[in-house]
Chains A and B, each alone.
Chain A
Amino acid sequence: MKKVFAIVVGLAVSAPVFATETVNIYSFRQPFLIKPILDDFTKQTGIKTNVVFANKGLIERVKREGKHSKADLVLTSNFSALIQLEDLDLTQTISSEAINNNVPAAFRDGDGQWVALTKRVRNVYSSKERVGALPELTYEDLADPKYKGQICTRSGKHPYNLGLVASMIAHHGEADTKAWLEGVKANLARKPQGNDRAQVKAVKEGLCDLAFGNSYYLGKMLQDETQKEWAEAVNINFPNQINRGSHINVSGAVITKYAKNPENALKLLEYMTDNKAQNMYASINMEYPVKPGVELSNLVASWGSFKEDSLPLDEISKYRPLALRLIDEVKFDL
C-alpha cells in the first residue's frame, strides 16, 4: 500500500523541469503547423519553447490558473478567441516597434492587447464541372433559392462560420442576417457536418455544387496525393469582390497578463511577425501573411489577388454572440 502511494505521489508531482530561457505556449493551433516555426526560433535565439496544444478550454485554463499560470503566450486560430482573452483581462500590452512595423494597424488591437499572425479568407468553392468560376458571387447570393439543395458547409457554430455570420450582421443588421441564414439553410444539400476538407470532397463527389471553406484547406489538399483530385475538382471564389470584399478571419497571439517570461514571449512574437516565420506560415499552411510584402506561396499566389472586407475585427467580433443566437434560432445545424 505504501509503495503504491509512493508511486502515485512520485508520478503525480514529477513536473517537467524548465530551462532558464524558455517561453511557454498554450496553443489552439496544431503542433505540426507551428512546430517548424518554433524550432527555427529556438535555433535562432536559443530560447526553448514548451507547448500545450488543445483546441478547447485553454482560455478557461489561463483564467483559472490566474497569476500562477505558466503560460506566457496564447496562440489562437480565430479572432474571437483573441478578443475574449482581452475581454477577460488576461492579456498584457504588446509593445514593440518591430511588431508595429511588421503588422498593419488593422491587424493589431488598438490597445496592443493582441496581434494577428496570419489571415484566412472565407471562400466559396464551386464545382468546376457543374458550376465553374463565380467571380461575381456574393455571400448574400447563397440565400437565393436558385441554389436550393446545392450548398455544403461545416457546422454553423464553427468559429469560421460564426465570424462570417457576425460580419453579415455588422453589414446588414440582425433581421436581414436571420433571413439570410434561413435562406442558406434552405439551400443546404445536407445537414452541416465535417470540416472544410469534407466539403470540398462532397463537391467533388457531386453531393453539392457550392461549399464554404477557408482557402488554406484547398492548398493543403492540393499538396496531399490522395486528396489532390478532390481539390482539383473545385474553383476557389473570393466572394463580394463587386462590393465590400471577402470576409477575413485571422490567427493571432496574446502575451498573458501574468507571463513569467514576457521578454521571451515578445521576442517570439517579433520573430513570428517577421519575414522568415511569415513566409513559413505562407508556405507550410498556405495562409496569407499579415506582414505586407512577404511573398505568398506560389500556389496561394496563383489564386490571384482579391479585395478584403475592411471592417475592423473588433467591430465584427461584437456581433459574434448574436450570430450564435441566430444560428440556434434558425436551427441551422439541426
Chain B
Amino acid sequence: MTYKFQLSKWQLFAWSTGLLLSTPLFFLLFESLQGNSEVFSHLWNTVLWDYISNTVLLILGVCVLSCAIALPLGWLTAYCSFPGKKQFEWALMLPLAMPTYIIAYVYTDLLDYAGPVQNTLRDWFGWQSPDDYWFFDIRTLPGAIVMLALVLYPYLYLIFKTALREQSFKLVQASQLMGLSSWQSFFRVSLVLSRGAIVAALALISMETMADFATVSYFAVSTLTTAVYDTWFGYYSLTAAAKISGVMLLLLFLALMAERFSRRNQAVFERQSGINSEALYILKGKSAWLATLFCSVILIVAFVIPIAVLIKYAIVYFDQAWSSEFFSYAWQSLKVAIVVSVVTLLLSILVVFYQRIAKQSYPLLPGRLASTGYALPGTVLAIAVLLPLTLLENTVNSVLDPYDLDIGLLLTGSVFTIIFAYVVRFYAVAHGAIESSFLRISPSLDMASQSMGKSQGHTLRLVHLPLLRRGLLTAALLVFIECMKELPTALLLRPFNFESLATHVFQYVSDEQLELASISALFIVLVGFIPLYFINRSMEQRS
C-alpha cells in the first residue's frame, strides 16, 4: 500500500513539474494556431528554407567542432598524466563563463579587415586593398560555428569528464592489461561507455546553438532564431513567430529522439571507483608535449585572448567604463543565479528519480516536457512566459475586483518572472547532467536499499544523492553560469530598476561599444569563477 502511495506522489510531482515548465510553450503553440498564416506562408515561399538549412548546418558544425575539442580534452584530463594537466583540468572549463556575444565581438574586432591581424599582414606584405589577398571572413556561418563551439565545448568537456570519472576505471585498466594503446582505449572503451553522456551534452549544445541570437545576428547569419525575431518585430506577427518556434521545436524533438535512440540498448551501470593515479596513462616525450600543446591552444583561443582583449579595453576605457554600481549589478545577477540553480536542481533530481522508479508508461515524458524551454530564444521564451502569467494575473484581478482588491502585476512586475523564465529555460541543463549521472548508478543498489526496508525517499537521499555528487555539482555550475550570461529574457522581463551584469553589458554591445562594457563583462566571467572553483575542488577529492 505504502509503495503505491509513494509512487503516485513522485508521479504527481514529476508530471506537475513537466506541465508547469512547459506551460509557456503550450501557450505559444496555441498562439501559433491563432489568426491567419499569410506571413508564415510568405516566409515559407521566400526565405524559410535558407533559415532552416543555416540552422541545421550551424548545429551540426558546432556539435562536430565541440566533439573535436572536448572529447580529447576530457579524456586527456581524466585518464592521462602530462605537463600542466592539473591546471588545464580546471582552466579548460573557463570559456563557459564567457558570453558568446562577447567572444564574437572580440574576434570580429581582431580578425576583420580593419582589425590588427589583417592590418599587420597588410603592413608585412604591402597589400593595399581587399582584392590583393584572401583572408577568411569571420562574420559568416563557419565563423559563427567556431565562436559558438569555443564557448559551448565546455558542456561536453565537463559532462564527458564527469562520466569518465564515474565510470569504473577498472575497465580502462583492463583494456591496458589487454594491450590496448591509450588511443585504442579511448575509442573502444571510454567513448563507447560514455555515449549517453556525450549525446546528452550534444543535445544541450544543440539547443543552446539553436537558441543563440546574439552571435548569429552579429554575424549576419540568418537562422530560425533570427527569423523568429524578424517575424515578430518586423511583421508584428506573434502568430507566425510562434509557428517558426514550432519548427524549432520539431528540430529539438528530433534531437531528443536521437538522444533516446543512441541510448536504446545502453545499460551500463558502474559504481564510482577511485582513479588510481598510478594507473593513469603517463604520457611522455612527444605525446606529452602534444597533449600540453592541444590544451594550451584551446585555452588560449577560447579564453586567454578574449580576456586579454577585455582587460585591455577595461584599462584604456577605465574612466568611461567604471561604475561603482557594478557590485549591485553583480549581486542582482548572483541572487537570481543562485535561486535558479537551487530550484532547477531540486526539480530535476526529483523528476529524474521518478524516471528511475516509475513503473507506468511514459516515465520520460515529464522530463522531456520540462526541457523544451531550452530551445527557445530568450525573447520568445520571455513572451511565452508572459502569456500564461499575465492571463493568471488578469484572471485573479478580475475575480478580486468586486472586493476592491487588486494584486496588480504581482508576478510579472517582480523578479519572480525572471526566475520562473530562467527555470523554464535552464531546467534542461540540470536535467541532462543529472540524468546521465543517474544512469550510471546500478539498479541493484536500489534493490538492496529496498530489501533493507528503506523507502524510495530514503534511497534517493542516502544512496543516490551521495553517488550523484559530481553530477549535481556539474548541473548546478552549468545552470549558474548560464543564468549569469542570460540576456534577452532578463532584458524583457525585468522589473523597474533591475539591472544585471548581462543587461548592463548589452546596453553597450547593442551599440557595438563593448569597450565601455568591458568591466562588467569581466565581472560576469569573474563571478563565474566561483562555482568553477568549487566544482574543481570536488572533482579533485577523489573518493
Given A60-B383, A331-B46: A50 in contact with B335 (beta carbons within 8 A): no
Is B222 a contact partner of A15 (Cβ separation < 8 A)?
no
Is B114 a contact partner of A205 (Cβ separation < 8 A)?
yes
Is B492 a contact partner of A328 (Cβ separation < 8 A)?
no
Is A193 a contact partner of B219 (Cβ separation < 8 A)?
yes
A21-40 vs B, CB cutoff 8 Å, 1 = contact: the mask equals: 00010000011100000000
A311-334 vs B, CB cutoff 8 Å, 1 = contact: the mask equals: 000000000010011001101011
B412 contacts the other chain (CB 8 A): yes
B368-379 vs A, CB cutoff 8 Å, 1 = contact: the mask equals: 000000000001
Given A195-B511, A204-B114, A325-B42: A56 in contact with B379 (beta carbons within 8 A): yes
Is A54 a contact partner of B393 (Cβ separation < 8 A)?
no
B386 contacts the other chain (CB 8 A): yes
Is A53 a contact partner of B113 (Cβ separation < 8 A)?
no
List B410-441 residues whose CB lies under 8 Å from chain A: 410, 412-416, 419
Is B43 a contact partner of A65 (Cβ separation < 8 A)?
no
Q: Which residues of B contact A69 (CB under 8 A)?
A: 409
Given A60-B238, A193-B219: A52 in contact with B386 (beta carbons within 8 A): no
B275-309 vs A, CB cutoff 8 Å, 1 = contact: the mask equals: 00000000000000000000000000000000000
B531 contacts the other chain (CB 8 A): no
A7 contacts the other chain (CB 8 A): yes
Q: In the complex, what's the smallest C-beta–C-beta distance from A252 to chain B, in angstroms?
A: 17
Cα(A328)–Cα(B515), bound, Å:
34
Is B390 a contact partner of A50 (Cβ separation < 8 A)?
no
Q: Which residues of B contact A11 (CB under 8 A)?
A: 335-336, 339, 415, 419
Cα(A11)–Cα(B46), bound, Å:
46
Q: Which residues of A contact B175 (CB under 8 A)?
A: none
Residue from B220, B229, B488, B494 with most neighbouring chain A CB atoms (10 Å): B220
List A253-269 residues whose CB lies under 8 Å from chain B: none
Is B495 a contact partner of A52 (Cβ separation < 8 A)?
yes
Residue from A7, A16, A31, A328 with most neighbouring chain B CB atoms (10 Å): A328
Is B496 a contact partner of A51 (Cβ separation < 8 A)?
yes
Cα(A324)–Cα(B43), bound, Å:
11
For chain A, the count of residues having a C-beta within 8 Å of the partner chain is 57
Q: Which residues of B contact A7 (CB under 8 A)?
A: 339
B399-413 vs A, CB cutoff 8 Å, 1 = contact: the mask equals: 000000010111011
Is B496 a contact partner of A334 (Cβ separation < 8 A)?
no
Q: Which residue of B lies closest to A321 (CB)?
A: B235
A84 contacts the other chain (CB 8 A): yes
Chain A residues touching B, majority SS: mixed
Cα(A60)–Cα(B238), bound, Å:
9
Is B492 a contact partner of A65 (Cβ separation < 8 A)?
no
Q: Which of A24, A53, A61 contacts B386 (CB 8 A)?
A: A61
Q: Which residues of B contact A205 (CB under 8 A)?
A: 113-114
Is B496 a contact partner of A16 (Cβ separation < 8 A)?
yes
B126 contacts the other chain (CB 8 A): no
Is B492 a contact partner of A58 (Cβ separation < 8 A)?
yes
Given A194-B512, A328-B42: A57 in contact with B382 (beta carbons within 8 A): yes
Cα(A84)–Cα(B232), bound, Å:
12
Is B47 a contact partner of A328 (Cβ separation < 8 A)?
yes
B510 contacts the other chain (CB 8 A): yes
Q: Which residues of A contact B233 (CB under 8 A)?
A: 56-57
Q: Which residues of B contact A193 (CB under 8 A)?
A: 139, 219-220
Cα(A58)–Cα(B379), bound, Å:
10
Is A56 a contact partner of B415 (Cβ separation < 8 A)?
no
List A172-205 residues whose CB lies under 8 Å from chain B: 191-195, 197-198, 201-202, 204-205
B460 contacts the other chain (CB 8 A): no
Cα(A164)–Cα(B81), bound, Å:
62
B533 contacts the other chain (CB 8 A): no
Cα(A14)–Cα(B414), bound, Å:
7
Q: Which residues of A contact B453 (CB under 8 A)?
A: none
Cα(A223)–Cα(B312), bound, Å:
21
Cα(A64)–Cα(B385), bound, Å:
11
Q: Which residue of B lies closest to A4 (CB)?
A: B342
A68 contacts the other chain (CB 8 A): yes
Residue from A11, A207, A321 with most neighbouring chain B CB atoms (10 Å): A11
Given A8-B339, A65-B390: A54 in contact with B234 (beta carbons within 8 A): no
Given A54-B491, A65-B412: A31 in contact with B46 (beta carbons within 8 A): no
Given A30-B511, A331-B47: A68 in contact with B222 (beta carbons within 8 A): no
Is A68 a contact partner of B492 (Cβ separation < 8 A)?
no
Is A201 a contact partner of B419 (Cβ separation < 8 A)?
no
Q: Which residues of A contact B339 (CB under 8 A)?
A: 7-8, 11-12
Is B414 a contact partner of A12 (Cβ separation < 8 A)?
yes
Cα(A30)–Cα(B507), bound, Å:
6
Q: Which residue of A lies closest to B488 (CB)?
A: A56
Cα(A193)–Cα(B222), bound, Å:
11
Q: Which residues of A contact B419 (CB under 8 A)?
A: 8, 11-12
Q: Which residue of A lies closest to B219 (CB)?
A: A193
Cα(A324)–Cα(B394), bound, Å:
34
Q: Which residues of A contact B540 (CB under 8 A)?
A: none
Q: Which residues of A contact B449 (CB under 8 A)?
A: none
Q: Which residue of A lies closest to B406 (CB)?
A: A68
Q: Which residues of A contact B408 (CB under 8 A)?
A: 68, 70
Q: Which residue of B lies closest to A155 (CB)?
A: B220
Cα(A199)–Cα(B386), bound, Å:
37
Is B50 a contact partner of A15 (Cβ separation < 8 A)?
no
Q: Which residues of A contact B360 (CB under 8 A)?
A: none
Cα(A191)–Cα(B50), bound, Å:
15
Given A16-B496, A195-B511, A207-B113: A64 in contact with B383 (beta carbons within 8 A): yes
B236 contacts the other chain (CB 8 A): yes
Q: In the complex, what's the smallest C-beta–C-beta distance from A313 to chain B, in angstroms?
A: 17
Given A61-B386, A324-B234: A30 in contact with B510 (beta carbons within 8 A): yes
Cα(A14)–Cα(B336), bound, Å:
12
Q: Which residues of B contact A70 (CB under 8 A)?
A: 408-409, 413, 496
Is A24 a contact partner of B50 (Cβ separation < 8 A)?
no
Is A53 a contact partner of B507 (Cβ separation < 8 A)?
yes
List B232-283 residues whose CB lies under 8 Å from chain A: 232-236, 238
Q: Which residue of B lies closest to A30 (CB)?
A: B507
Q: Which residues of A contact B346 (CB under 8 A)?
A: 4
Q: Which residues of A contact B492 (CB under 8 A)?
A: 54, 56-58, 61
Q: Which of B220, B343, B382, B414 contacts A13 (CB 8 A)?
A: B414
Q: Which residues of B contact A191 (CB under 8 A)?
A: 139, 220
A-B contacts, 14 listed (Cβ < 8 Å): A11-B415, A14-B415, A15-B414, A16-B498, A32-B507, A52-B494, A57-B492, A68-B393, A70-B496, A195-B512, A206-B130, A324-B234, A331-B46, A333-B222
* 19 extra interface residue pairs, beta carbon distance < 8 Å, beyond A57-B492, A328-B42: A11-B336, A12-B414, A12-B415, A16-B495, A51-B496, A56-B233, A57-B233, A58-B492, A60-B386, A64-B383, A68-B393, A68-B394, A157-B230, A193-B139, A194-B512, A205-B113, A205-B114, A331-B50, A334-B50
Which 10 pairs across A and B sit closest by C-beta, in order of nearness? Answer: A12-B416, A193-B220, A50-B496, A15-B414, A54-B491, A64-B390, A328-B46, A57-B492, A205-B114, A64-B386
